[in-house]
Amino acid sequence: MSGADIPYQLRPNKHVERQLFWELLEHIDHFNPIRDTAYISMGGRFLEDFKQVHAKFGTKKLLSIESDSVVHERQVFNKPIGALICRRMTSGELVTDFERITGELQAKNYIVWLDYASSKDRLAQLGEFESLVKKLAANDVVKITMNASLRTLGEPKVGESQEDFQKRAFERFKNKLGTYFPTAAGLDHNNITGDGIPVILMAAIKNAALAGISSSSNVSVKPLSAFLYNDGFHDMLTVTCILLDKSMQADFFASTRLDAWEFTASDWSAPIKIFIPDLSLKERVTIDGNLFGKSDDEVHSELTFSFNENRSISFEIFKNYVTHYRRYPGFFRAGT
Amino acid sequence: MTSLTQGMVKAGPSKRFFVSMMTRDIDLKDAILDLLDNCVDGIQRKLKGVEVDEKPYKEFWAKITANPSGFTIEDNCAGIPRKVAEESAFMLGRPLGKVGEIDKDLHTVGMYGIGMKRAIFKMGNTCTVYSNPYGEDQAFKVEISPDWMENESWELPISYGMSRSENFGTTLKVNGLYDSIARNFDENDSNFLEDLAAAISQFYAVIMGKGFTVFLNEKLISPVEIKLLSPMVLAPGIAPYVFSANIDEVETELVVGFRRQLASERELDAEADQPKSSEDAGWTIICNDRVVLYNDKGSLTGWGRSNVPKYHTQFISISGMVIFRSAKLFNLPLTTTKRGLDTDNKAYIVALDYMMEGLKKFTDYTNRWKGREDETTQAFSQTTSVPATQAAAKILQSDRMSVVRKLGSEVNARRFIPDLPYPEDKNPKRRIVYTRLAAEIEHLANHFFPGTPNVAPSDIGIRSFEKCLDIALRELKK
């Protein structure tokens, strides 16, 4: 089962990541208005991100792609705004036909989100990402989400040592990433861990992005944010980058003030983890009522419950909640 | 206290080292093609770059004679100007600044000034270069002797005033062939001359297409022709992808498409056993009319890179051509051997993105119609086979080229993306592939096609499926 079957409003980590994406776009908006930019993504059944991008920025050039005919039919039914085009096509077709699509949407710039859930075709996914980057122009934004779960690399066989498993899984992962595998990063089987896989994958995304701009000597590709979160089933890595004319880089950071945003990715080295706990309304109200009136340590110590039997891990989870409490989803049962 | 003294050490090149090193980096075929390049550069100089019609080179020829006793190449391509002979033609590498002066505004391919010397050194130890330059008052002769090859002198004797041949041109004779070379030139001992003829027909395809004629041991060599299917009417359907731009002062034009109908499964099986048709698929790259890569199917031309699949026989129908032209030779993606590409070259790096973009359209189309190739016959019937340059020209001259957003108008980048047909989605087809024992398949062949020899396994598979479906449908109705 994949996380795709649960609406993401009910997956707090994913919800927070989406909020952070809108925050990032708000920053970019100061440099290049999102209103005039086309937004292309895989909107799922409810097209939630299209509602958001339209509501926040007034973007009208919207294209959702979907390969599943059943989901596509529901998208057409759920379409929140008339301007949204719901097209039945694969991500591969989007990339191959990207110029035709830009001809159709006629936007100055594009935000394209390749939201991959499957761990099976990472090489093809990175290939599509590279091809898309090749077709993007300066000031276009591209986001890629990939499955970064350790368990997608299998488990130790009966009698196999952890080290032997890691060596085997490392070779397998290397193979799966093909030419995008970051050979120069000095990685080895010790990186086959929950934290190591996203680092390898992020370096592979970097390689694909750089291959994508290899023909554009005056353009660079800058990572703007990188997050790792668990969507309920898998660890997902999501990286957003922008193509920038080299002469505009200083202007970009001055206008967007992204240097001051605490979640800006300074390089391609590692994602920021989002691992907030599931909280009941009562728990949230209790914590929020004490936040910033006391130290985080005090608030956590005074809780009559914890998030992990290990006190320090519990505190880490708590701190992550404190970081994102403003972005925490609040859902209530509603009658219709 | 000891006083400091100064002196000099020898740091010049050793001739023997130079000669042996230069010849190792090139094979014999390419070394001979280098000599033909000099002929074409001579034509360019005589015509001053002006090409009046489609066959501007029709009066020019080169005659190669190669046998175990010697090698000769004779041409009527205007000869070597005396000044050039005296100051640079026999130097190893062109002196600074000279390249611009000699060939300014010309689309030549001789850039490093090593081709002729390298070819001579590759083949033998004795050589005579006779030239009767156009527009000058006397002919001259330069001789290279075995002694010169061994000594450290870098000067060669030149003599003037000998009788003039009826043509303005150059005759280069190499004798004292090295054993391996003499063997290559022996038709009874080696098929080298056959390979050389094939290479000339491929690598000189464009130049010969412009009228230049090449004879090898008195036999005329015909150029290969790269053809593509071009739509009779430019409408949605089968048509080539075309891109053009001016990158770094290099006029870049590329066209890729189908050169023939999609191959049937049966043909692909035969091709896998004995590749024939595949040789004609792939990318051909041309720099200033000189083919530098012929029907390439590797990553250099985008196959297996990014989202483009690796070459496979199923892509037998896809062919493409990239034409780079520039008066600035160093801006072209040429290597010193003129075989392969300078992959750091800007024009090539930019073009590669669009080669891949175009290629992907046709690999996708091939994959989409896999197993139902027969249904594409109608679409292909709307096309005719024409030379690739003509297929490109038709689109370039139409109003269907659109500006490439990413590159913008600065480099005048435009492209045409064909609207290739999709299979009907209403009743989609799926492919079934399975393997069974040959003996069992034969039983079915005897059952379904009694008395018919050599029934294709795919036909037996289709008949089996039809029979099973029939049974299943009948049972469902009960």
Average pLDDT over residues B272-297: 86
Average pLDDT over residues B306-317: 93
Q: What is the pLDDT of residues B67-81, one digit of tens each?
A: 999 999 999 999 998
**Residue A133 and residue A125: Cα distance in Å, rounded?**
12
**Residue B130 and residue B140: Cα distance in Å, rounded?**
6
**Residue A259 and residue A253: Cα distance in Å, rounded?**
6
In the predicted model, is pLDDT for residue A3 greater than 60?
no
Q: Residue B344 corresponds to which tokens in the numbers above?
A: 């750091």
Task: Give the pTM.
Answer: 0.81
* Chain B contacts in chain A segment 240-279 (CB below 8 A): none
Give the three-state DSSP class for A37.
strand
A-chain CB neighbours of B353 within 8 Å are: 134-135, 215
B325 contacts: CB under 8 Å, gap ≥ 6: B107, B250, B251, B287, B288, B289
Name which of B307, B350, B417 is nearest A92 (Cβ-Cβ).
B307
Q: Decide if A102 touches B, using CB distance below 8 A.
A: yes
Q: Inspect the interface and report whether the beta carbons of A124 and B307 lie closer than 8 Å.
A: yes
If you write DSSP's letter for every residue of B251-285 in order, what string do you get?
Answer: EEEEEEEESSPPPPHHHHHHHHHS--GGGG-EEEE
Q: Inspect the interface and report whether the beta carbons of B307 and A215 lie closer than 8 Å.
A: no
Which pLDDT band holds residue B18 (cuts at 50, 70, 90)? confident
**Best residue in B250, B300, B303, B307 to probe A by mutation, most A CBs within 10 Å?**
B307
| A19-33, A271-285, B21-35, B420-434: range with lowest mean pLDDT | B420-434
Distance of residue A30 Cα from the nearest chain B Cα, in angstroms = 22
Average pLDDT over residues B297-321: 94
Q: Inspect the interface and report whether the beta carbons of B306 and A127 lie closer than 8 Å.
A: yes
Q: Inspect the interface and report whether the beta carbons of B417 and A99 lie closer than 8 Å.
A: yes
Name which of A136, A137, A215 is nearest B350 (Cβ-Cβ).
A215
Nearest residue in chain A measured CA to CA from B405: A137
Q: Inspect the interface and report whether the beta carbons of A134 and B306 lie closer than 8 Å.
A: yes
Q: What is the pLDDT of residues B180-216, one digit of tens each?
A: 999 999 988 899 999 999 999 999 999 999 999 999 9
Q: Decide if A67 touches B, using CB distance below 8 A.
A: no
**Residue A171 and residue A167: Cα distance in Å, rounded?**
6
Average pLDDT over residues B19-46: 89
Identify the H or E element spanning A274.
strand A272-274
Distance of residue A130 Cα from the nearest chain B Cα, in angstroms = 6
**Residue B166 and residue A320: Cα distance in Å, rounded?**
91
Query: In this structure, are residues A24 and A245 in contact, taking their beta carbons and an 8 Å threshold?
Result: no
Which pLDDT band holds residue A300 (cuts at 50, 70, 90)? very high
Name which of A99, A102, A211 is nearest B306 (Cβ-Cβ).
A211
CA B402 vs CA A126, B105, B245: distances in Å: 28, 29, 12
Q: Residue B7 corresponds to which tokens in the numbers above?
A: 């002196």
CB pairs under 8 A between A and B: 47
**Best residue in B406, B417, B420 to probe A by mutation, most A CBs within 10 Å?**
B406
CATH among 3.30.230, 3.40.50, 1.10.3470, 2.60.120 for B228-416: 3.30.230
pLDDT at A6: 52
In the predicted model, is pLDDT for residue B313 greater than 70?
yes
In the predicted model, is pLDDT for residue B410 greater than 80?
no
**Best residue in A72, A94, A98, A99 to probe B by mutation, most B CBs within 10 Å?**
A99
pLDDT at A236: 96
B-chain CB neighbours of A215 within 8 Å are: 349-350, 352-353
* Chain B contacts in chain A segment 201-240 (CB below 8 A): 211-212, 214-217
- Domain over B15-220 is classified CATH 3.30.565.10: yes
Q: What is the pLDDT of residues A235-279, one digit of tens each?
A: 999 999 999 999 999 999 999 999 999 999 989 988 999 999 988
**Best residue in B303, B306, B341 to probe A by mutation, most A CBs within 10 Å?**
B306
Domain segments of chain B: what residues? 15-220, 228-416, 438-477
Q: Inspect the interface and report whether the beta carbons of B307 and A99 lie closer than 8 Å.
A: no
B-chain CB neighbours of A211 within 8 Å are: 306
Interface of B with A (CB under 8 A): 306-307, 346, 349-350, 352-353, 356-357, 360-361, 364, 402, 404-406, 408, 415, 417
**Residue B325 and residue A187: Cα distance in Å, rounded?**
44
Give the three-state DSSP class for B356.
helix
Which pLDDT band holds residue A10 (cuts at 50, 70, 90)? low
Q: What's the burial of A280, exposed, middle or buried (CB within 10 Å: 0-12/13-18/19+)? A: exposed
**Residue A130 and residue A139: Cα distance in Å, rounded?**
16
Distance of residue A180 Cα from the nearest chain B Cα, in angstroms = 10
Name which of A99, A102, A131 is nearest B306 (Cβ-Cβ).
A131
Averaged pLDDT of chain B: 89
A-chain CB neighbours of B402 within 8 Å are: 103
pLDDT at A11: 80
Q: Inspect the interface and report whether the beta carbons of B357 and A135 lie closer than 8 Å.
A: yes
The rounded Cα B332 to chain-centroid distance in angstroms is: 15
pLDDT at B99: 47
pLDDT at B7: 86
Q: Inspect the interface and report whether the beta carbons of A99 and B350 lie closer than 8 Å.
A: no
Nearest residue in chain A measured CA to CA from B408: A137
**Residue B55 and residue B209: Cα distance in Å, rounded?**
7
Distance of residue B103 Cα from the nearest chain A Cα, in angstroms = 29
Give the three-state DSSP class for B98.
helix
Q: Inspect the interface and report whether the beta carbons of A137 and B346 lie closer than 8 Å.
A: no
ipTM of the shown complex? 0.76
Q: Decide if A124 touches B, using CB distance below 8 A.
A: yes
Which pLDDT band holds residue B235 (cuts at 50, 70, 90)? confident
Q: Inspect the interface and report whether the beta carbons of B405 and A130 lie closer than 8 Å.
A: no
